[in-house]
Chains A and B, each alone.
Chain A
Amino acid sequence: MIKISYMKSLLLLGILLTLPPMIFAQDANELLRKIDENLMPESYESYRKLINEEPNGKRKEYLFYTVKKGKDRVAMLYLEPASDRGRSTLRLDENMWLYIPNVRKPIRITSMQSVIGGVFNNSDIMRLDYSVEYNATILKETDKEYVLNLKAKNRTVAYDRLKMWALKDGLILTKIECYSATNMLLKTLEFKEIKKFGNGLVRPSVIETYSPLYKGYRSLMIYITIKPRKFPDEVFTLNFMPRMEELR
């Protein structure tokens, strides 16, 4: 009898020892999913300005119209400057394309490339939900915030690892550090200027990024409007890229 109890206790202890990391991982992934939900509606249209600031203080500005559907479909139309007007980019899961009006066909681009220069790369501008690309664990928890460690689900994701800070109350994202597979800090994203966008969406309206690899450079992404909107799947196809203006 005693023997059986001893075995049971050992088994229970074993289960208890292995459960916490699993529970934490589940909790962390659930947290990440909620952080995603608080950042963007599942399907939306948005106008945003992107500013690349050079070390000498000069700026280059872009205006984008972006549409997203579900977890893995994003398309973006360049509205300004005139030299880039009519260009569009499309992301379907891990696939990305760029359409240039003069070339008249979409060409594949990579997530690490930056079609507009500056510190933001394509995956920053055409971002999918974090929970689609990363698995999360909780690194640290204080009274006010969570610090999550995000590990890329596969090799085609632009950053191998992210370190993410989110306020506990409201699960609002405040900062992300992006690391390479060799654990080198590639860039830091700071989320600022909380704004009411309507339809219950309250989130940071400015994302500022800087990188030790681009000393003195800074890029800003300013969300002007974000509105929930449903789109047919066919909007997110290569053939529709020249026609994106029809959606506005």
Chain B
Amino acid sequence: MNRILLGLIFFSISPLGLAQDYSLDIPVAPKKTLEWSGNLDGKYTVMQMRPESPFYKIQFSDDLSNYLSQYRLELYLNADYRTRNMGFHLKTHGIYYNDSNAQFDLFEAYGNYNFSLNTTLHFGKQVFSWGKGYAFNPAGFINPFKDPENPELAQAGLLSMSFETIKSFRNKWLQTAALTAVVIPPAENIDQRYAEIENTDFALKGYALVWNTDVDVMGYFSGDGSAKYGADFSLNLKENIEIHGEFAYSTDETTLRFKSGLPTESMENGYSWLAGLRYLNRWNTTIIAEYYRNDFGWTKSDYSKYLGSIETALQNDMIPDNLGNVPSGMTQMQDYLYLKISQPEPFDLLYFSPSIYTIYNLQDRSYIIGAPMTYSPVSNFSMIFWPTLISGKNDSEFGSKPMQLKFDLWMRFYF
């Protein structure tokens, strides 16, 4: 009673109360069982091409202008239906170039049933994101391919069934433990409808928060006998410094090498790993730095031979089938440095967040430098201007890409 009286007195005499310039009558967002969300991106790109690149020669003809443009619309449409014990989630992606060239993708479509608050079963096509790396995830055995230039881009999921259980603990050294088990049915290769059951893959991940450190151990066991084992960690050293790392060991990984100048598939065992940090300074600048090593990537010599094979094939007007089996993802070689610096609202420029990043190939010294600049003057709308320089010697990884300079302008509307 005293408190209420005091409150009323305080409110009535407080000059702050009198100087109120905001409304306290705020409605609470009602909970909806079915919810729609998404965003529409309009993307306009101007590219300065590299006609001497063998990849340019595969894709384009000789008599084109050095400057190409592209205008496309991308629609991300999501629906979530949730009750206390179950849910259904849909994430779609549509891309439109013109009336005769449009595409629709089902990124995710999965249901979940909660046996209890800490035990869940998932069924359907779902994205997994394992590993602690920002730009690369060597231990992300079931992740979609990540674009290190834009790691936050929505991706397509994996058709799977998964089971997850979590347990919290009240002691100093172990606070949480969780286990995720994933069954990945084989791709249907018989009449496009059936598959042999022995090709089913399994993945397991155990997570623990121990001594204020996130630790995961994971494994992937393929129906063909190959296996991958991995681990990762992440912890805050100080209130503004985080460090993380990932490690993976794979057996019988199908790898393309060049023997006597000819592309040959071989089965290899090897390691890949990553070490990184995230640092925030007193001016609110965030720095992310990562080193990534991949034993299954190509050496400088492999890459030169790969380019040579394409040039020879182009001269003979025939591309060998197994040249399509190149190391997947954006980065194909063994050693990379990633650095990103972002600064929200520098020099009091409101709603403006520039950043700059580089992916540097340590073997051939080729690199990508991008500088996305985001301007968000109102809620639910962003404009992004994103110049990218892709550079290196002609026989280097990034120096052999079909474009050398790119300017993107994106308009993004959320709902």
A residues touching B (Cβ–Cβ < 8 Å)?
38, 47, 49, 51, 54-56, 58, 60-61, 63, 65, 79-83, 85-86, 92-96, 100, 102-105, 107-114, 117, 155-158, 167, 169-170, 172, 190, 192-196, 202, 205-206, 208, 220, 222, 224-225, 232-240, 243, 245-246, 248
B residues touching A (Cβ–Cβ < 8 Å)?
2-4, 6-8, 10-11, 14, 16-17, 20, 22, 24, 26, 28-29, 31, 37, 39, 80, 82, 84, 87, 114, 117-118, 120, 127-132, 134, 151-154, 164, 166-168, 170, 175-176, 178, 180, 207, 209, 212, 214, 234-236, 238-242, 244, 278, 280, 284, 286, 344-345, 348, 350, 376, 379-380, 382, 414-415
Chain A residues with CB under 8 A of B87: 246
Q: A82-B415, A86-B37, A239-B207 are in contact. List 14 more A-B contacts (CB 8 A).
A: A55-B350, A95-B236, A112-B239, A170-B3, A190-B16, A193-B11, A193-B16, A233-B168, A233-B170, A237-B209, A238-B209, A240-B117, A243-B120, A246-B114
Chain A residues with CB under 8 A of B82: 245-246
How far apart sit A68 and B68, CA to CA, in the bound complex (Å)? Answer: 54
The residue that B236 contacts in the complex, of A47, A105, A156, with Cβ under 8 A, is: A156
The residue that A157 contacts in the complex, of B29, B212, B239, with Cβ under 8 A, is: B239
How far apart sit A169 and B2, CA to CA, in the bound complex (Å)? Answer: 8
Closest to B29 in A: A79
Q: CB distance B280 to A194 under 8 Å?
A: no
Q: CB distance B239 to A108 under 8 Å?
A: no
The residue that A93 contacts in the complex, of B26, B39, B127, B212, with Cβ under 8 A, is: B212
Selected A-B contacts with CB under 8 Å, 9 pairs:
A95-B209, A114-B284, A117-B345, A170-B3, A193-B24, A194-B11, A220-B22, A238-B176, A238-B178
Q: CB distance A80 to B29 under 8 Å?
A: yes
Chain B residues with CB under 8 A of A192: 14, 16-17
Q: CB distance A117 to B2 under 8 Å?
A: no
B393 to chain A, nearest CB (A): 34
Q: CB distance A238 to B214 under 8 Å?
A: yes
How far apart sit A107 and B137, CA to CA, in the bound complex (Å)? Answer: 13
Chain B residues with CB under 8 A of A224: 26, 28
B85 to chain A, nearest CB (A): 9
Given contacts A103-B129, A110-B239, contact A47 B345 (CB under 8 A): no
How far apart sit A103 and B132, CA to CA, in the bound complex (Å)? Answer: 11
Q: CB distance A202 to B7 under 8 Å?
A: yes
Q: CB distance A104 to B84 under 8 Å?
A: no
Q: CB distance B344 to A94 under 8 Å?
A: no
Q: CB distance A239 to B164 under 8 Å?
A: yes
Q: CB distance A169 to B414 under 8 Å?
A: no
Interface centre among B16, B120, B164 (most CB of A within 10 A): B16
How far apart sit A78 and B2, CA to CA, in the bound complex (Å)? Answer: 36
How far apart sit A239 and B411, CA to CA, in the bound complex (Å)? Answer: 33
How many inter-chain residue pairs (CB < 8 Å) link A and B? 175
Chain B residues with CB under 8 A of A54: 350
The residue that B28 contacts in the complex, of A155, A220, A225, A235, with Cβ under 8 A, is: A225
Q: CB distance A95 to B242 under 8 Å?
A: no
How far apart sit A102 and B147, CA to CA, in the bound complex (Å)? Answer: 13
Q: CB distance B239 to A156 under 8 Å?
A: yes
Chain B residues with CB under 8 A of A86: 37
Q: CB distance B175 to A92 under 8 Å?
A: yes
How far apart sit A157 and B238, CA to CA, in the bound complex (Å)? Answer: 9
Q: CB distance A239 to B3 under 8 Å?
A: no
The residue that A193 contacts in the complex, of B20, B127, B176, B286, with Cβ under 8 A, is: B20
Interface centre among A38, A61, A206 (most CB of B within 10 A): A206
How far apart sit A55 and B216, CA to CA, in the bound complex (Å)? Answer: 44
Chain B residues with CB under 8 A of A170: 2-3, 6-7
How far apart sit A232 and B87, CA to CA, in the bound complex (Å)? Answer: 20
Chain A residues with CB under 8 A of B8: 194
How far apart sit A208 and B84, CA to CA, in the bound complex (Å)? Answer: 36
Closest to A158 in B: B239
Q: CB distance A49 to B26 under 8 Å?
A: yes
How far apart sit A3 and B248, CA to CA, in the bound complex (Å)? Answer: 76
How far apart sit A238 and B234, CA to CA, in the bound complex (Å)? Answer: 13
Chain B residues with CB under 8 A of A49: 26
The residue that A63 contacts in the complex, of B29, B31, B242, B278, with Cβ under 8 A, is: B29
A35 to chain B, nearest CB (A): 13
Given contacts A58-B350, A113-B286, A156-B239, contact A83 B212 (CB under 8 A): no
Q: CB distance A61 to B166 under 8 Å?
A: no
Q: CB distance A83 to B168 under 8 Å?
A: no
The residue that A104 contacts in the complex, of B128, B168, B278, with Cβ under 8 A, is: B128
Q: CB distance A237 to B6 under 8 Å?
A: no
How far apart sit A224 and B129, CA to CA, in the bound complex (Å)? Answer: 35
Chain A residues with CB under 8 A of B120: 243
